[in-house]
Amino acid sequence: MARLVVVSNRVPVPSAKGGTAAAGGLAVALEAALRSHGGLWFGWSGKTSTDREIEWLEIRDFGNVTYAVADLNRRDVDEYYTGFANRALWPLCHYRLDLTDFSRKDMAGYFRVNRSFARLLAPLIRPDDLVWVHDYHLIPLAAELRHMGVKNRIGYFHHIPWPPADVLSTLPVADTIMRGLAAYDLVGFQTSYDVENFTGCMVREGFGRALGNGWFESYGHRFQAGAFPIGIDTESFVEMAVEGAKNPIVKRTRESLHDCDLVIGVDRLDYSKGIGQRIEAFSRFCEMSPSAKGQVTLLQITPKSRSDVPEYATMQRDVAELTGRVNGALGDVDWTPIRYVNKTMNRNALAGLYRIAKAGLVTPLRDGMNLVAKEYIAAQDPNDPGVLVLSRFAGAARELDGALIVNPYDIEATANAIGRAISMPVEARRERFQSMFPKIRDHDVSWWCRTFLDALSQDESAIPT
Ligand code: GDG
């Protein structure tokens, strides 16, 4: 079996004692894949150094896995990460052209940091290694590695949506980004819709031609693109949710609810997640259904993220204000309609909270997949499951068709769906749950890893003639 090299923007380096730092399902699955293949995990340490250039790596071995991380200096972080990745590519891929900032300085920083990463990584790659690069921060990495003579098979997975050609074309360096993707051997997306958009960008904008069967030829290189929907670590999440009932935070929540039904939302504070629209919809639901007063509470768990990016700071203020306004207008001395928690919960508590919630609201305006949707289903009691209200614009909606699928821009319809979810009879809830659970059980995160790596291991013989 080939050795595996994983490259991601951030690397969860275990503690000196060997304890894992990987918290989420994705990191745990990648760590497991690395352990079974043996390998190397390379990326940014997450630290900002005072050095002028990225020049050195901190390398540590844990069993058969090596972790190699580099610090970035302030300018690199501002231009590569906060700037181009999070103020150009992220809003662009989430169809938010109104929030893009195409600064030339940031673009240059993005390509510069990718070149520096390639320079540090290239000498660590052995001839038969499989290289797997993750996410939009690192699109140009393969092209840079190729310039340095790296001939290995290199795969890329795009965790967020891929936009249609008209949206991508607004990016001044769209051609360099497409050229960067063409340097990989396999480019993975979350859904077939993203693959369609990517094909449109390739073919319609004249960057390359489609050879059929997911194969493309572009800038003299043949590569494959396909949909690889990411999953969660379903088995361990189910266990965590069952155990979660004993968690002190879950107990406290349950006691504080008295007879109120709980509805839950869990999202990083990000404008793609539709948190404002969701709060409006919940507020509309409370206004429309007098019986909701004092009987239903929305728990919105929203850890802060990317506070260095101005659009996120603005959003933090807006959501806090909106929540305050709704609670002020609708609440009473003994009832707070929305409990807004602006901090990170531990994962066990989160799993237990999903389980006691009668409805899970996952209503992003645009999302690559959305793992919260899958976690909410995994956490349910099969005999008395809650109902998932899911945006049609989340990649997860392609698989989780037993959810109440909503258009999150339609506040009235989302409010109605919340009402339907809360009052749905148990037989209908069970039926919906049973239609979804086997999918997330069979297509878990290990399946996703395996499927991607199997496809990456194939050679060019599968290209149609
Ligand atoms: C990107 C794509 C794609 C959230 N709050 C807490 C907490 N979380 C955990 C959730 C979930 C994860 O964070 C969020 O994953 P999502 O998939 O919902 O969203 P992104 O962070 O935007 O991820 C997305 C994903 O990549 C994977 O490919 O699905 O579309 O945007 O696991 O549970 N975890 C804890 N406390 C919290 O307060 N412990």
- CB 427, CB 297: distance < 8 Å: no
Strand 4-10 and strand 221-227: the pairing is unpaired
Residue 333 tokens read as 């001395």
CA 50 / ligand 1 centre spacing (Å): 31
Name the strand (E) or helix (H) holding 119: helix 104-121
Angstrom distance (rounded) from CA 67 to CA 12:
9
Q: Tabulate helix, strand, coil % of the chain (nearest 5).
A: 50, 20, 30
CA distances from 464 to 179, 187, 212, 215 (A): 22, 18, 7, 8
| pLDDT tens-digit map of 351-406 | 999 999 999 999 999 999 999 999 999 999 999 999 999 999 999 999 999 999 99
Angstrom distance (rounded) from CA 27 to CA 160:
16
Mutate to test the pocket of ligand 1, among 137, 250, 339, 372 (most ligand atoms within 8 A of CB): 372
Residue 66 DSSP label: E
Indicate which residue of 194, 267, 270, 367 is catalytic: 367
CA 367 / ligand 1 centre spacing (Å): 10
Can you give the pTM of this predicted structure? 0.95
| pLDDT tens-digit map of 152-180 | 999 999 999 999 999 999 999 999 999 99
Average model confidence (pLDDT) for the chain?
A: 93
Residue 138 DSSP label: G
Ligand 1 neighbourhood includes 240 CB (under 6 angstroms): no
In 423-435, which positions are buried (b, 16+ CB within 10 angstroms) versus exposed (e)? ebeeeebeebbee
| pLDDT tens-digit map of 301-344 | 999 888 888 889 899 999 999 999 999 999 999 999 999 999 89
Annotation marks residue 37 as catalytic = no
Residue matched to tokens 């993220």: 305
Ligand 1 neighbourhood includes 26 CB (under 6 angstroms): yes
Q: Is 220 exposed, middle or buried (0-12, 13-18, 19+ CB in 10 A)?
A: exposed
Ligand 1 neighbourhood includes 303 CB (under 6 angstroms): yes
Q: Ligand 1: which atom is nearest the Cα of residue 343?
A: 38
Q: Is 328 exposed, middle or buried (0-12, 13-18, 19+ CB in 10 A)?
A: exposed
CA distances from 4 to 34, 60, 124, 183 (A): 6, 16, 12, 19
Average pLDDT over residues 52-59: 76
Average pLDDT over residues 190-198: 98
Categorize the per-residue pLDDT at 407 as very low, low, confident or very high, splitting at 50, 70 and 90: very high
The residue whose C-alpha atom lies closest to atom 1 belonging to ligand 1 is: 159
| pLDDT tens-digit map of 267-291 | 999 999 999 999 999 999 999 998 8
Alpha helices in 169-259 (DSSP H): 174-182, 192-204, 234-244, 248-257
Residue 325: Cβ within 10 Å count: 12
Categorize the per-residue pLDDT at 33 as very low, low, confident or very high, splitting at 50, 70 and 90: confident
Angstrom distance (rounded) from CA 286 to CA 293:
6
The residue whose C-alpha atom lies closest to atom 10 belonging to ligand 1 is: 372
Angstrom distance (rounded) from CA 333 to CA 331:
7
Q: How many CA atoms lie within 13 A of 411 on its CB side?
A: 14
Residue 165 tokens read as 């050609």
Q: Is 93 exposed, middle or buried (0-12, 13-18, 19+ CB in 10 A)?
A: buried
Categorize the per-residue pLDDT at 181 as very low, low, confident or very high, splitting at 50, 70 and 90: very high
Annotation marks residue 94 as catalytic = no
The pLDDT of residue 215 is above 60? yes
Average pLDDT over residues 30-59: 84
From 270, 445, 450, 447, select the one nearest 374 (Cα to Cα).
Answer: 445
| pLDDT tens-digit map of 99-146 | 999 999 999 999 999 999 999 999 999 999 999 999 999 999 999 999
Indicate which residue of 158, 159, 261, 267 is catalytic: 159
Ligand 1 neighbourhood includes 368 CB (under 6 angstroms): yes
The complex's ipTM?
0.99
CA 76 / ligand 1 centre spacing (Å): 25
Categorize the per-residue pLDDT at 50 as very low, low, confident or very high, splitting at 50, 70 and 90: confident
Mutate to test the pocket of ligand 1, among 158, 355, 369, 448 (most ligand atoms within 8 A of CB): 369
Q: Ligand 1: which atom is nearest the Cα of residue 157?
A: 28
Residues 6+ apart with CB under 8 A from 457: 2, 130, 153
What is the Cα 213 distance to its own chain's centre?
Answer: 27
CA 176 / ligand 1 centre spacing (Å): 29
The pLDDT of residue 462 is above 60? no
Using DSSP's 3-state secondary structure scheme, residue 43 falls into strand
